[in-house]
Amino acid sequence: MIRLYIFLLLINIPIHAFEDDDIDGVENSKDLCPNTSFEDTVDEEGCPENQHYKGRITLSIGSDINIDDSTTTDYNFFSNYNYKAWDFSLYSSQQSSLDTNNNESQSAGDLYLSSSYNKSKGNLYTKLTFGAKIATGDNEISTGESDYFTNLYISYAFTNKLAILSSLSYTLTGDSNETTYNNPLGYSLGIGYMLNDAWYSSLTYQNVDSIYEDSENYQSISLFNSYNFSDNFFGTLSYTKGLDDLSYDQTISIRLGVNFE
């Protein structure tokens, strides 16, 4: 399975329109200190003049249940450090599966590292990501070869609730000892909606070139939901339906996370 969109699914991409929850004159999308007191004098980044911004850390754990001819479960860990316009992320996973004799097997997945640059202007939000997949072994989910990928994500908010979403990705796929792979180009199109201050939902179609010669593209449609339980704790739930013969027929993903500054 190809996992070009793992970081987009894990990170809650906000809809950008002018909002200023702490009424300091700096809109939320550019406010690095979003909970300043009303009487504080802030700089252009929304932080009190005597406070130095140290960045934001996000951690999450989760599980992907892949349903096909058999059922496998991925347990994963994600971490992200955000400093102003920059994001640095790490993702890893462990897979557990049952064979026809109900024997359980486990295998470690590859390690994903990426860095991103974010920019917003008015209702337009862009995110450019560069990353690498580092092979940690050669088993069912660890491919034994390393890849390099880039992704351009663009969203445009028509209102403070509704936005269109799009992305374009390209991967330089390393070859294994047995197989030469194609370098896949992919894209996604979708729509995102803020149901309320805590609940965000999106519907996205993905299409990615197959890494195999003479094979159909990977295609899927995903329903993604993110809910903020508080300022620091959040959860995500997504359902993905595979539209080709190579992808998993269905995937249900659940994650719980925390962020702090």
In this structure, is residue 228 part of a structural domain?
yes
When mean pLDDT is compared across 11-20, 74-83, 126-135, 147-156, the lowest value belongs to 11-20
What is the pLDDT confidence band of residue 245, given thresholds at 50, 70 and 90? confident
Residue-level pLDDT at 74: 84
Residue 230 pLDDT more than 60?
yes
Structural domain boundaries, residue 87: 6-260
Choice between 28 and 120, residue whose per-residue pLDDT is larger: 120
Choice between 183 and 141, residue whose per-residue pLDDT is larger: 183
Per cent of the chain over pLDDT 90 is 38
Residue-level pLDDT at 182: 86
Residue 143 pLDDT more than 60?
no
In this structure, is residue 237 part of a structural domain?
yes
Cα→Cα distances 95→9, 11, 139, 144, 223, Å = 18, 21, 10, 16, 23
pLDDT, tens digit, 9 for 90 and up, residues 73-85: 888 889 999 888 8
CATH number of the domain enclosing 134: 2.40.160.40
Residue 10 pLDDT more than 60?
no
In this structure, is residue 80 part of a structural domain?
yes
Q: Tell me the whole-structure pTM to 2 decimals.
A: 0.80
Residue-level pLDDT at 200: 92
Choice between 46 and 207, residue whose per-residue pLDDT is larger: 207
In this structure, is residue 23 part of a structural domain?
yes
Q: Mean pLDDT for the chain?
A: 80
What is the pLDDT confidence band of residue 11, given thresholds at 50, 70 and 90? very low
**Highest mean pLDDT: which range of 29-33, 40-44, 90-94, 236-240:** 236-240
In this structure, is residue 1 part of a structural domain?
no
Residue 102 pLDDT more than 70?
no
Residue-level pLDDT at 96: 65
Residue-level pLDDT at 137: 61
Number of domains in the chain: 1
Residue-level pLDDT at 229: 94
In this structure, is residue 166 part of a structural domain?
yes
pLDDT, tens digit, 9 for 90 and up, residues 16-51: 545 556 566 666 666 667 666 666 666 766 676 666
In this structure, is residue 14 part of a structural domain?
yes
In this structure, is residue 20 part of a structural domain?
yes
CA distance 89 to 95: 20
Q: Is 70 exposed, middle or buried (0-12, 13-18, 19+ CB in 10 A)?
A: exposed
What is the pLDDT confidence band of residue 9, given thresholds at 50, 70 and 90? very low
